[in-house]
Structure 1
Amino acid sequence: MCRCFAADLDWDAIATRFDVGEGQADSSALPQSSYNLQPKQTIGIVAQDTGGRRHLAGAYWSLIPAWSGGKELPYPTYNARVETACDKPTFAASAKSMRAIIPASGYYEYHGRRPYYFHAPDDAPLLMAGLFSWWRPPRSRLPWLLTATILTCQAVAGPATVHDRMPLLVPHDMTAAWLDRTVDGATLVADMQAGGVELSRRLAFHEVAAFGPADNGRSLIRPLRQVAAPSLF
């Protein structure tokens, strides 16, 4: 699972990386640099509209399906299992044709109560696979709310020593297909899992100090200092 991640990113560089057109990146709605993004906060996502244009936008991190009668669902939706996302009513429509990429500097997983930080060895942005949905209250004239979830898969290698789930990463050669709304998501799952899992095998990770919801800053990802056992001689 992934319920906390870091995003200290150059949004202009992300927009360039994904060929987001001029005027298709809403910088005012994108989150400020954060090392402690939590569910129900605003995160940045890259997604494609039905006309094939790519957008970089801020999204509410907990997917709300368009048919939901309220903003609060009786179960968490900040993560979706890739193995069942195409079949679950909450995520099926999004998995079919509303997929997103959620850039991150790194993410945290917990082994019991001990947090670990995962990141690329060269600290390049991680491209987490996500789904999105537009929602607003029924019979309302309020603006539509863009919402999103992060897909997770079975953990392998190093990540599996910390937690049994991990975010599914998008291989660079599959970003176009993943964002393409004309491609049925069910046809992408097998290839995505194979390529994404290989990327996760190469991640660097280390234990960090415990932190609370209000804590932030780069100090959160500092490796936890291990206290050496005293020498008797």
Structure 2
Amino acid sequence: MCGRFAVDKDTNELIEEFVAAGGDVHDWAPSWNLAPTQQVPVVIESVKTGELVRRLETARWSLVPGWSKSLTMKFPTFNARSETAAEKSTFSASVKSKRAIIPASGYYEWHTDPVTKKKTPFYIHSGNDETLAFAGLYSWWKDHSKAEDDPTSWNLTATILTSDAVDDLLDIHDRNPVPLPREWWGRWLDPATVGDQDFVDAAVQAALPVAGSLEIREVAPLPFQGEGPELIRPVTKAGQ
């Protein structure tokens, strides 16, 4: 799974990286401690005035399907299992045509000692500091308690797809996000491509080399609230 991640790029850097138009990102600033339900940057494509537009937006990290009566779901939706996303009512419509990329500098995972049950945090990232492109899904949720013409009634929400962990990451956790290679970015985002389980499975396979190349370092316990690049600094062991 992926329950915390970091994005150390600002709006302009993300727009340049993903060749996206500026969207609703006025409140975005780099963060090293993003948690579910917070606003996170997402890259999406949709047709506007007859033209396909790729843009950068911010979305609530926990997908809420349009049919939900509430913005708060009864179960966690910040991650979606890639193996079943196409058949789950929460995610199936998004798999078909509302796929997103969630940029990330890296993400955190906790290894639980089977004997002591102690949880040790690790930061998983690209060795060359490249921005990761997690395969994601998005959905627009409308708050019907607000006026029809109230622009704040629409909420963009998103989730990160996960898959079985590659061998290199199994010692940390049994799941990992799906980091798409660059050649898959356009294919994944294109709303004209009707997604199904085979399409998701192909994306997961394409992501395996990227996931297997990621580097891992132990970091200090992550505060519930707290911010700054010091959160991803490696732990220095005694005697080192």
* TM value normalised by structure 1: 0.92
The structure-2 alpha-carbon separation of the partners of 1:10 and 1:32, relative to structure 1 and needing over 3 Å to count, comes to closer
**Residue type of the partner of 2:127?**
P
Deviations 1:207-227, CA, capped at 9 Å, x for gaps? 111122112211111111122
Whether the aligned pair in 2 keeps the contact of 1:15 and 1:25 (CA below 8 Å) is no
Matched residues, number: 226
The residue that corresponds to 1:34 in the other structure is 31
1:171 aligns with 2:187: no
Q: 1:44 pairs with 41, 46, 51, which one?
A: 41
How many angstroms apart in 2 are the aligned matches of 1:13 and 1:208? 26
The residue that corresponds to 2:139 in the other structure is 133
1:180 aligns with 2:190: yes
After superposition, where does 1:60-71 map in structure 2 within 5 Å? Answer: 60-71=60-71
How many angstroms apart in 2 are the aligned matches of 1:10 and 1:140? 32
Runs of 4+ with >4 A deviation: none
1:8 aligns with 2:5: no
* Identity across the alignment (%): 40
Whether the aligned pair in 2 keeps the contact of 1:108 and 1:115 (CA below 8 Å) is yes
Q: 1:219 pairs with 211, 230, 239, which one?
A: 230
* TM value normalised by structure 2: 0.90
Structure 1, unaligned runs of 5 or more: none
**Residue type of the partner of 1:121?**
G
How many angstroms apart in 2 are the aligned matches of 1:185 and 1:111? 33
How many angstroms apart in 1 are the aligned matches of 2:209 and 2:76? 28
After superposition, where does 1:119-158 map in structure 2 within 5 Å? Answer: 119-138=125-144, 140-141=146-147, 142=150, 143-158=153-168
Whether the aligned pair in 1 keeps the contact of 2:11 and 2:29 (CA below 8 Å) is no
Matched residue SS, 1:72: coil
Structure 1 residue 26 displacement after superposition: 2.9
How many angstroms apart in 2 are the aligned matches of 1:116 and 1:37? 15
After superposition, where does 1:92-131 map in structure 2 within 5 Å? Answer: 92-112=92-112, 113-131=119-137
Structure 1 residue 20 displacement after superposition: 1.8
Structure 1 residue 139 displacement after superposition: 5.5
After superposition, where does 1:171-210 map in structure 2 within 5 Å? Answer: 171-186=181-196, 187-210=198-221
Structure 1 residue 126 displacement after superposition: 0.6
How many angstroms apart in 1 are the aligned matches of 2:25 and 2:138? 19
How many angstroms apart in 1 are the aligned matches of 2:34 and 2:7? 8
